Amino acid sequence: MKLSQDSVWHSQSITPLIETLRTLSQQSRAAFYAPGHKGGQGIPQPLATLLGATVFRSDLPELPELDNLFAPSGTIKQAQTLAAAAFGADQTWFLVNGSTCGIIAAILATCGTGDKIIVPRNTHQSFIAGLILSGAVPVFIKSEYDPLWDLPYSFTPEALEDALNQNSDVKAVLMVYPTYHGICGDIKAIAEITHRHDIPLLVDEAHGAHFAFHPSLPPCALSMGADLAVQSTHKVLGAMTQASMLHIKGSRVNPQRISQALQLVQSTSPSYLLLASLDGARQQMALQGEELLDNTIKLAQKARDEISQIKGLSVLNIDKLGLGFHYLDPTRLTVNVTALGLSGFEVDEILHQKLGVTAELPMLSHLAFIVSIGNTQKDINQLIKAFQTLANITPSPPHPITYSYPHPISHPPLSLSPRDAFFALTEMISIEDSIGRISGELICPYPPGIPVLMPGEIITQEAINYLVYIQQLGANITGCSDETLNTLKVILFS
């Protein structure tokens, strides 16, 4: 079924993928196609006990009625058309490999070997994967930084203008909007500057899939002039983990190039459970989004008000607006705990192990909490009570916790492109001997997945000190060949 643009909004109540899956799951047929469990008949008993049998009847492959993700002409195309209308896009692609594959596809579609792309250094590791696969070369742009909160903001329009004036051959600009902590830069001005240079603005909007559905939230990237936005629908809306979307608007990004790039980085056996969850999340937000988000914003505000009154705690608020900080997502709570004399990692362990609350992201100075449409008043009460309990059992130190090294970490210019470094010969050496050598691996705390070291970057004492320190505090370090960090992989003969 092909929907005209005029009829799309009148059809937002339907869920074509869910409805087709429901029909097929109720049919009786002899299945001689994948997956091997055959509608749940062959699933292991522990898995059946955990999930029940019903879900497996809908775990189907690319049957004729279910369309093809890489050449959609039926059910998937209809669902994606509805999503484009709901999220304000000209065209939308469903992603079953998370926003990671969307970011990689955006780079592959706009940049080739040796092409320059402007990007903040505090971007997700998926961007580095995109550089390795495409051969593109990053031009890193400085993001504003708040030393009191130890928080990176966005880059400013002025910084972008300078970078573009110094690099006339740039092919694209990538912006993180919002950050993990809900901080949004001046995207409208950044889009205008980018377009004056006739290049596309690509936006990592992984944490902003809800922005289009409530006037009290920051404006969504596409409405402010972005040419492409990648959203983790699963992070803040009702889709299943790993289910995301890529949207484009305007003519600066070639949709055929996006489709071709996604064929390289998405599974050829996509999960229709994930695809159906995107269909359902779209319908829910199109019909009930503002109402649901009204409640979410109220819950987040209650938590913000009450936690900020607890001794030793402070909550990031809109009064921090300034350079690189143009909007704040009110559903994202960032709680600074330095006045308790504890790191965010230590507080996270106490909350999770003893007080029944789990944060989205602990860092040295603070913890970030996602309040979404799935949270309840009970959740908020438990969060507030947990922090009250924590403050009561924690002796107040004479001074807030401080760190013995500067923030943010400085990064020297790349000595090799990420692609050249990834494919170069490497050797493992002691961490002490790695100072001054060129990193051969991508090393970052996860979450948030922002690299401290990337392939092609000179290893500094500052970066090593930071990695060792946060690992001692309980941070999870990913990407390193040696998880103990006793040795690092470096480029041979560098």
The tens digit of pLDDT for each residue in 408-419 reads: 677 888 899 999
> What is the reported pLDDT for 10?
61
Is pLDDT at 343 greater than 70 in this prediction? yes
Is pLDDT at 320 greater than 90 in this prediction? no
pLDDT digits (tens, 9 = 90+) for 31-66: 999 999 999 999 999 999 999 988 999 999 999 999
Cβ count within 10 A of residue 444? 22
What mean pLDDT value characterizes the chain? 92
DSSP state of 354: H
By the 8 A CB rule, do 494 and 437 touch?
A: yes
**Directed axis angle between helix 98-110 and helix 125-134, to 10°?**
40
CA–CA separation, 348 vs 215, rounded Å? Answer: 32
For residue 371, give the nearest of 303, 287, 447, 291 by alpha carbon. Answer: 303
In DSSP terms, 362 is beta-bridged to: 367
For residue 391, give the nearest of 334, 343, 347, 345 by alpha carbon. Answer: 347
Is pLDDT at 2 greater than 50 in this prediction? no
CA–CA separation, 312 vs 295, rounded Å? Answer: 28
Q: Which residue has the higher pLDDT, 134 or 364?
A: 134
CA–CA separation, 370 vs 207, rounded Å? Answer: 9
Give the helix/strand (H/E) hosting 188: helix 187-196
Q: Measured between alpha carbons, how far is residue 355 from residues 65, 140, 302, 382 in Å?
A: 48, 41, 19, 8
CA–CA separation, 10 vs 12, rounded Å? Answer: 6
**CA geometry: angle at 395 spanning 389 and 397, to 5°?**
130
pLDDT digits (tens, 9 = 90+) for 397-436: 656 655 544 456 778 888 999 999 999 999 999 999 999 9
**Interacting residues of 82 by C-beta distance below 8 A, sequence separation 6+:** 3, 8, 11, 12, 14, 16, 279, 282, 283, 286
Q: Give pTM, 2 decimals.
A: 0.93
For residue 182, give the nearest of 216, 156, 157, 159 by alpha carbon. Answer: 216
Cβ count within 10 A of residue 338? 23
DSSP 101-135: HHHHHHHHHH--TT-EEEEESS--HHHHHHHHHH-
Domains and CATH numbers, the chain: 5-16+62-286 (3.40.640.10), 289-393 (3.90.1150.10), 418-491 (3.90.100.10)
By the 8 A CB rule, do 388 and 355 touch?
A: no
> What is the reported pLDDT for 1?
40
